[in-house]
Structure 1
Amino acid sequence: MSRKGAFILLLLGLSVAELGHAQQPAQVLGKSAVKTEKPPKAKKLSRKERKALSRRAELEAMQLQKRPLSEKDQEMSEAFFVDGLRYLMLEDYNKALERLLKAYALSPANAAINYKIAETNLLSGNLSDATNFAQSAVKLDPKNAYYYLLLAQIYTSQKQYDQAAKVYTTLIKDVPDSGNYLFNLADLYMAQGKLNEALSTFEQAEKKFGTIDEVSFKKQQIYLKQNNLDKALQEGEVLIASNPEEVRYVLAQAQMYAANNRFPDAIRVAQQALKQDPENPQARMILADVYRQQNNPQESQKQIKLAFENPGLDIDNKVRILIDYIKQLPNPALNQSALELAEATTRTHPKEAKAFSIAGDIQTITDHKKDARASYLKAIELDNTKFQIWQQVVLIDAELNDVEGMLQHTNKALELFPNQASLWFYNGVAYMLQKQPAKGIKSLEYGRKLATDNPELLAQFDTQLGDAYHEVKEYAKSDAAYEAALVFDANNAQALNNYSYYLSLRGEKLAKAKEMAGKLVKQNPDNDTYLDTYGWVLYKMKDYAGARQQFELALKTTKDATVIEHYGDVLYQLGERDKALAEWQRAQKQGGASALIDRKIKDKKLYE
C-alpha cells in the first residue's frame, strides 16, 4: 500500500494501529518511536502557548495554501498526524497538539486533522479552540457523523444546548442513516426542560424505528411532568400490550395509578400482576399501600405479611418499612404486627445481620428484651463489627440484671472495641456486682481515661468509682470520686445516696451526710431507699426520733430486711426493746439482714 493510499484510509477513520502499520512510524518518527514506556503526562499548555501554536500554524497554513501540497509535504503532514495520534492515545495532550498543529500547518483543509485537533483541545479543556476546529471539520466533510457528534459534545460541555441541538438536527437531516441520533436529540431536549420538543422528537424516532420500551418510559415521564396522567397511562398500556410477559410494566402501571389516587384501578392492575406472578412481593406492597390509604388496615397488613414472607422483597426494602414502624412504636395497635414482620424478615433472610438487628430494635421497643438480646447476638454472629449492636446487648444485660452476661459480653466486645469507654464502664460494674472490686476498679479507671470528652459519662465513672473505692476501704479516693461526680451534677442521686450512707457507716462528716441525704429525700419523698439512708444518717447522729420517722415512711413501700433491721435498731435506742426484737425477727425471716441479726435476736441486745 502506498503512503498516499494509507493516508486516505486514515482520513476515513481507520484505527491508529492500522495507520501506524501503514505508515511504518518507526521510520518516520525515528528511534524514539520504538519505546514502549509511557511518558509522564505533561502539564496543560498555557493559554499563551496555545495561542502561539495556533497562530504559527495559521501563518504556515496561509503560506502553504498559496501553493499545491508537494509529495514531501504530504508525507510530513502524515507523519506529524500519526505522531500526534500516538501522543493523544498516551494522553500527553501538549505534545499531541504540537504535532497535530504541525500537520494542520501543512494541510489545513484536511477534515481529519481538524477533527483530531478539536478532540485534543476538548480533552485538554480548551473549549474555544475545540469549537473552531470542530466547526471546520464539519464544513470540510459535512457527511461524517463523528464530526457532528464531537461538535455537539463540545457545545454541551459549554452548556450551549441550543447550539448542540442545531448540530444534531443538521446531522439527522444531512447525513444518511443518522436517524438513531434522534434519541440523542430528544434526551438533550429533556435535559433542557423542552418537553414538547422532546416528545416530538421521540415520536419521530418511533415512526422510524417502531415502539421502543425506553422511549415509552421517557414519554411517560414527560407526560407526568406535564400533569397529563391520561397520556402517561396510555403509554403504560402500550408497554403492557407490546410486552405481555413483562410483569414489571404492569407493576409500573399499578404504581402510577396508586400514586395518583386511582385506587380501584391500582388494585385491578396489581391483581393483574399477581395473576402473572402470584408471589410477586412488589404487587403485594402496592396493594398494602392502597388498602392503607383506603383505611382498610386488616387487608393492608395481610398484604404486607405476604410480601415479607417472600425473599424476593429485598432486605433493604423490608428494613425501610420496619423503620417506619419503629417511628410509630410502642403502639398497642401496631406492636404485634411489627413483631411478626420482624420475625418474617429474619426467617426469609437468615444470613443478613441487618435483619436481626432491626428485629432486635423492634423487640426492644415493644419490651421483649430477652428476644431482642437473642436477635442482637445473632446479628453479631453474622457481623461483629457494629459497636452499636454490642452496646445494645450490654444495655439489655444491665436491664435484666444479668451480671454474668454483662461481664461475658463486655469482655468480648472490648476485644474489638478497646477504646469505647462505655464498655469499660459496664465491664467495671459487672466485676463490682460479682464482688471483684479490684478488677472493677481497674476497668473503671481505664475507661475513665477514655471518657474525658464526655462529662456526663465521666460523672458516671466517678460515681461508680466512689462505690468501688469504698469496697476496698480506700476512703479518701472514694470521697474524692463522689465529690467529682457531684461537681458535674449536684443532684446525682446515686452519688448523694451512697456518699452520705458510707459516711454514716464510717461516722464521718455526718453533717455533710445529713445535708446530702436530706436533699435527696426532699427531691424524692417516696423513695424507700433514700428514706432509709436519711434515717440511718439521723440514727448515727443520735436523732432517734427523726430516724424513726424516716424508717416508718420507708416501710410503707418496702419489705427490705435492711430497712426493717434499721427500724428495730432505732426502736431499741428509744427503749422499745420488745418492738425492736419483733422487728429484728421480721428482718431475719425476710432474709438479707446484717451478719449481726442472729446475735441481736439471741441476746435481745443491739450490736453495731
Structure 2
Amino acid sequence: MTTFRNLILASCCLALVATGESTAQSSKKKAKAAREAAAAPVQQQTPAPSAHDRQMSEALFLDGMKYFMLEDYQQALQLFQKAYTITPNNAALNYKIGETYLQLKESASAMPFAQAAVKLEKKNAYYYLLLAQLHSEQKQYDAAAQAFNDLLQNVPNSDEYLFNLADLYLAQSQYDNALRTYDRIEKQFGDMEQLHVNRQQIYLRQKKVDKAIAEGELLLKTNPTEINYYLAQAELYNAIQRTDEAIATLNKALKVEPNNPFAHLMLSDLSRQKGDIATSNKEVKLAFANPQLDIDTKVRILVDFIRQLPNPQIESVALELVDLTIQNHPSEAKAYAVAGDLQTIVGKKEAARDNYIKAVALDNSHFKIWQQIVLLDAELEQPEALVKHAEQALELFPNQAVFWFYSGTGHLITKNFEKAVKSLEYGKRLSGSEPALVTQFNMQLGDGYNSLKEYKKSDAAYEEVLAVDANNEHVLNNYSYFLSLRNEKLDRAKEMSERLVKLHPNNPTYLDTYAWVLYKSGNYTEARKYLEQAVAISDDATLVEHYGDVLYKLGKHEEAVSQWQKAKLKGEASAFIDRKIKDKKLYE
C-alpha cells in the first residue's frame, strides 16, 4: 500500500543519516528524491474505503482544516497526509494538500496533488485555478494557459475566467492570444469599456498606433465625459506628430472640464512646439493657478524651467509660476524651495534666501537648503544673518563642517574674533578628510588669529595654506600685508606680494599690497610706481592715502596732503587722516 511504501522510504532516509556510511555522500540527492516520492500521490486501483475509513479520513481532514485556518500549515499538512493514506482518490483532499504545499512555498510538491485533483474532478473551477497558479509560479506559462482553457472547456458557466486567461497572456506579452481572448470575452459579455482600454494598451506595445487611436476614438464615443480618455488620445496624436488633432482633442476635453490642469499643461507643451509662446505661457499659468494640480507635478515642471535658465525668454513666466505655486501651496516646503532655486539662478538672491528660510520653517530637515541659505547670506554680505542661520543649521547638523565655516566667517566679519576662531578650529577638526575644506578654514584662521594678535598661529595657518596652494590669492595678499604692518619677515612679504602682482598685474588691491611692502622696506620710489598704477585703476580711500604717504616720504609734501584730502572725501581712510591733513605731516 501507499502508506507502507512511504514509511519504507522515510525509514531508509533516517537510516542513512544515522549510520553515516559512505553512501551518505549522495544523501542530499536521495533524500530529496525520497521526499518528492513520498509527497507525490500515487493513483492506483484501490478498494473503496469502508464507511469507517471514510469517517476517519473526514475527521482527519476537518482537524487539518482547523490548523489550516490558524495558518499552522505544517500541522495541517500532516493531518491531510494521514487522511490521504486512507482516501488517496479524494479530489478535495488532493486539492487541499496542494494548496497547503503552496502556502508553504513548495510549489513543486504541490503540483502532483493539484493535477490529481483536476483528474479526479473535472468540473471544479478551483482545482484548475490552483493548477494554473502553480504552473505560473514555476514559470510554466503555456501550461498555466492550458489549465485555464481546460477550465473553460470542462466547467459550465465559467466564462468569467476568460479575464484571468487574458491577463496571463498579457503578462507574458502574448498579445495576439490576449486579443483573441478579448474577442471571446466581448462575444460572451458584450461591449465593455475595459476591453477597449486593454486593446489600446496592447496596440501601443505592438507599435500599432493607428489601431490604438481607433480604440481611443471608440472610448470617447461611448464615454464622452471621461476626461482621461481625451488626455490619453491627445498624447497618442502628439506621439505621431498629429499636433493639430491633439490640440483639437484637448479643446474638446476643456469643454467637458474647463479647469482641467493637465489639459492646460498639454496645450502649453503643444503650443510651444508650434512656436506659439504666448499661448503656451497662458496655458501653463492656467494650469499652475489650479490647486488641483499637485505640488510634485508643479515642481517637476519648474525643475525643467530651471534647467533652461538663464534664458530671458522664459525667465518672467518661470518667476510667475513659482509665485503661483507658493500661492496655491502655502504649506508645502518644496514650493518655497523650488522658488528659491529658480530665483537664485536669475539673480534674485534676497528673495531666494527668504523663500529658503520659509522652506526650512516648514521642514528643517534638508541640509542643502540650509547650505543655500548661508551661501546667499554670504553673497548678500549680511554677516549677522550669516551667523544666525549658520548657528541654526548647526543645531540640526552639528557635524557638518561647512556650517562651522560660515559661522566662523560671519563672526570674523562682525569682528567677534574669539568666537570666529573657536568655530573655525572646531570645523577644521571635522574636515580632516577634505583637504580643500581644511584650506578654506586655514585661510580664515590666518585672518582671525592675526586680528587677535596671535601672530604665530596666524602665520602657521597661512603657511599651511601655501604649502598646498602656493598661489592662493587671499593668503598671498593678506599674509604679506599683515607682515608689512608688523614690520616682520619683510623679505617673505615682498616675495609673496611680488608673486601676486605678477599673477594679477591689474588688480589694484594687490598692487597696493606690494607697494606697501616696498614702502615698509624703504623702497619709496618703487612703491610710488606701483601705487600710481593702483590709483589709476581704483580710487579706493586706502590706496589714495597710501599714495599720499609715499609722496610724503619722497619729499612731495603738498602733493601728499592733496592725496590725503581725496582719501578723506571717501570716508574710509585711516584714523590718522585728519591729523595728517591738519599738520601736513605723516603719522603712522
TM-score past 0.5 threshold: yes
In the alignment, which residue of structure 2 is the partner of 1:3?
A: none
Name the stretch that deviates more: 583-592 or 466-475.
583-592
Report how far residue 277 of structure 1 moved: 0.8
2:572 aligned with 1:592:
yes
Deviations 1:219-276 (A, max 9, x none): 1011122232222112112222222222221222122212221111111110001001
2:560 aligned with 1:580:
yes
Name the aligned partner's letter for residue 273 of structure 1: A
Q: Cα 1:441–1:59, aligned 2, differ >3 Å: closer, same or farther?
A: closer
Find the partner of 1:142 among 122, 137, 160. 122
In the alignment, which residue of structure 1 is the partner of 2:19?
A: none
Find the partner of 2:481 among 501, 508, 533. 501
Report how far residue 59 of structure 1 moved: 9.5
Name the CA distance, whole Å, in 1 between partners of 2:226 and 2:240.
23
Name the aligned partner's letter for residue 62 of structure 2: V
Contact 2:40 2:112 in 1 (8 A): no
2:83 aligned with 1:103:
yes
Find the partner of 1:440 among 420, 424, 429. 420
Name the CA distance, whole Å, in 1 between partners of 2:237 and 2:40.
63
Q: Secondary structure at the match of 1:299?
A: helix
Q: Stretches of 4+ moved more than 4 A in 1?
A: 46-62
Contact 2:40 2:109 in 1 (8 A): no
Query: 1:64-79 residue pairs with structure 2 within 5 A?
Result: 66-79=46-59
Query: 1:386-425 residue pairs with structure 2 within 5 A?
Result: 386-425=366-405
Contact 1:548 1:567 in 2 (8 A): yes
> RMSD of the alignment, in Å?
1.9
Deviations 1:3-53 (A, max 9, x none): xxxxxxxxxxxxxxxxxxxxxxxxxxxxxxxxxxxxxxxxxxx98667546
Structure 1: gaps of 5 or more residues: 1-45
Q: Cα 1:341–1:47, aligned 2, differ >3 Å: closer, same or farther?
A: farther
Name the aligned partner's letter for residue 407 of structure 1: V
In the alignment, which residue of structure 2 is the partner of 1:369?
A: 349
Contact 2:442 2:462 in 1 (8 A): yes
Q: Cα 1:84–1:577, aligned 2, differ >3 Å: closer, same or farther?
A: same
Name the CA distance, whole Å, in 2 between partners of 1:583 and 1:257.
76
Q: Cα 1:555–1:419, aligned 2, differ >3 Å: closer, same or farther?
A: same
Query: 1:236-315 residue pairs with structure 2 within 5 A?
Result: 236-315=216-295
Deviations 1:513-572 (A, max 9, x none): 112111211221111111111111111111212211111111122221111111111111
In the alignment, which residue of structure 2 is the partner of 1:345?
A: 325
Name the CA distance, whole Å, in 2 between partners of 1:145 and 1:106.
25
Contact 2:41 2:88 in 1 (8 A): no
Name the stretch that deviates more: 107-116 or 411-420.
411-420
Q: Cα 1:117–1:593, aligned 2, differ >3 Å: closer, same or farther?
A: same
Name the aligned partner's letter for residue 307 of structure 1: A
Name the aligned partner's letter for residue 272 of structure 2: R
Query: 1:458-607 residue pairs with structure 2 within 5 A?
Result: 458-607=438-587
Name the CA distance, whole Å, in 2 between partners of 1:56 and 1:338.
72
Q: Secondary structure at the match of 1:555?
A: helix
Contact 2:41 2:112 in 1 (8 A): no
Deviations 1:396-430 (A, max 9, x none): 11111111211221222222222221111111111
Find the partner of 2:195 among 207, 211, 215. 215
Name the aligned partner's letter for residue 590 of structure 1: K
Aligned pairs, number: 561
TM, length-normalised to structure 1: 0.89
Name the CA distance, whole Å, in 2 between partners of 1:137 and 1:95.
21
In the alignment, which residue of structure 2 is the partner of 1:426?
A: 406
Find the partner of 2:92 among 80, 87, 112. 112
Name the CA distance, whole Å, in 1 between partners of 2:209 and 2:56.
63
Name the CA distance, whole Å, in 2 between partners of 1:506 and 1:290.
69
Report how far residue 599 of structure 1 moved: 2.2
Contact 2:254 2:260 in 1 (8 A): yes
Name the CA distance, whole Å, in 2 between partners of 1:183 and 1:291.
41
In the alignment, which residue of structure 1 is the partner of 2:22?
A: none
Q: Cα 1:399–1:480, aligned 2, differ >3 Å: closer, same or farther?
A: same
Structure 2: gaps of 5 or more residues: 1-27
Contact 1:58 1:105 in 2 (8 A): no
Name the CA distance, whole Å, in 2 between partners of 1:89 and 1:519.
87
Name the CA distance, whole Å, in 1 between partners of 2:63 and 2:513.
94
Name the aligned partner's letter for residue 290 of structure 1: L
Report how far residue 158 of structure 1 moved: 1.0
Name the stretch that deviates more: 87-96 or 111-120.
87-96
Contact 1:121 1:127 in 2 (8 A): yes
Contact 1:60 1:106 in 2 (8 A): no
In the alignment, which residue of structure 2 is the partner of 1:39?
A: none
In the alignment, which residue of structure 1 is the partner of 2:18?
A: none
Identical-residue share of aligned pairs (%): 53
Name the aligned partner's letter for residue 384 of structure 2: E
In the alignment, which residue of structure 1 is the partner of 2:430?
A: 450
Name the aligned partner's letter for residue 406 of structure 1: L
Deviations 1:466-499 (A, max 9, x none): 0000011110000111111222322221111111
Q: Cα 1:57–1:183, aligned 2, differ >3 Å: closer, same or farther?
A: closer
Contact 1:57 1:104 in 2 (8 A): no
Name the aligned partner's letter for residue 379 of structure 1: A
Report how far residue 392 of structure 1 moved: 1.1
Find the partner of 1:151 among 131, 150, 153. 131
Find the partner of 1:196 among 176, 180, 203. 176
Name the stretch that deviates more: 293-302 or 435-444.
293-302
Name the CA distance, whole Å, in 2 between partners of 1:383 and 1:87.
50
Report how far residue 379 of structure 1 moved: 1.2
2:187 aligned with 1:184:
no
Name the stretch that deviates more: 89-98 or 227-236.
89-98
In the alignment, which residue of structure 2 is the partner of 1:35?
A: none
Name the CA distance, whole Å, in 2 between partners of 1:48 and 1:471.
85
In the alignment, which residue of structure 1 is the partner of 2:21?
A: none
Deviations 1:56-87 (A, max 9, x none): 5779986xx64331333223322332333333
Report how far residue 322 of structure 1 moved: 0.8
Report how far residue 123 of structure 1 moved: 2.8
Deviations 1:293-318 (A, max 9, x none): 11222211111111111112111111
Name the CA distance, whole Å, in 1 between partners of 2:74 and 2:284.
62
Contact 2:40 2:113 in 1 (8 A): no
Name the aligned partner's letter for residue 156 of structure 2: P
Name the stretch that deviates more: 469-478 or 401-410.
401-410
Q: Secondary structure at the match of 2:122?
A: coil
In the alignment, which residue of structure 2 is the partner of 1:174?
A: 154
Name the CA distance, whole Å, in 2 between partners of 1:124 and 1:51.
19
Q: Secondary structure at the match of 2:94?
A: helix
In the alignment, which residue of structure 2 is the partner of 1:234?
A: 214
Name the CA distance, whole Å, in 1 between partners of 2:529 and 2:51.
122
Q: Secondary structure at the match of 1:526?
A: coil
Name the aligned partner's letter for residue 191 of structure 1: A
Q: Cα 1:198–1:66, aligned 2, differ >3 Å: closer, same or farther?
A: closer
Q: Cα 1:485–1:129, aligned 2, differ >3 Å: closer, same or farther?
A: same
Contact 1:456 1:488 in 2 (8 A): no
Report how far residue 357 of structure 1 moved: 0.7
TM, length-normalised to structure 2: 0.92
Name the CA distance, whole Å, in 2 between partners of 1:529 and 1:78.
101
